Amino acid sequence: MGMSTSATHIIFFIASVVLAASFVGIAATAITNISNGIEDRGDMIATQLSADFQVINDPERVSNNPVVLYLKNTGKVPLSTDYITILIDGQNVDNATVNTTTWMPGDTITLTINIDLSSGEHVVKIILENGLSTTFYFKV
């Protein structure tokens, strides 16, 4: 009778060790994935916080047909000009060109928008691919 009790205890002990090891393996993988996700999100937020740009035109003297805007990278990281969304008076404008694709901190780029605007006040919103945007009010 003593032998069967010891065997039962050993079987239960081995089963509990196997279950514990399985749980630790699964939990460790889940914790690593969550940790990596938090780190990636932190890096993305740090990049967004250190990125900025401004329109440096005189709002009283903006050319028309084409509209030429000068954008300065006032942040601490390079920006991409591959995908820029331009809204003038709330309307999407597709006919625009930029003089460079890599936009280093402190650099000024030229954004040429081939559009003929009516005289008066207008607003342009420029949105980069990372969601960074600026709004500029000007007269033509």
Same domain membership, residue 65 and residue 43: no
Residue 125 has a pLDDT of 97
Q: For residues 98-119, give the mean pLDDT.
A: 93
* pTM, full prediction: 0.71
Same domain membership, residue 130 and residue 63: yes
Which of 4-8, 18-22, 43-47, 93-97 has the highest mean predicted lDDT (pLDDT)? Answer: 93-97
Supply the range of the domain harboring residue 68: 53-139
Contact by Cβ (8 Å): 79, 51: yes
Q: For residues 87-91, give the mean pLDDT.
A: 96
Same domain membership, residue 78 and residue 38: no
Strand order of the sheet with strand 84-88?
91-93, 84-88, 121-128, 133-139
In the predicted model, is pLDDT for residue 101 greater than 60? yes
In the predicted model, is pLDDT for residue 34 greater than 80? yes
Same domain membership, residue 60 and residue 45: no
Same domain membership, residue 58 and residue 45: no
Banded pLDDT at 45 (limits 50, 70, 90):
confident
Residue 90 has a pLDDT of 94
Count of structural domains, the chain: 2
Same domain membership, residue 107 and residue 80: yes
Residue 2 has a pLDDT of 57
Same domain membership, residue 59 and residue 44: no
Contact by Cβ (8 Å): 117, 137: no
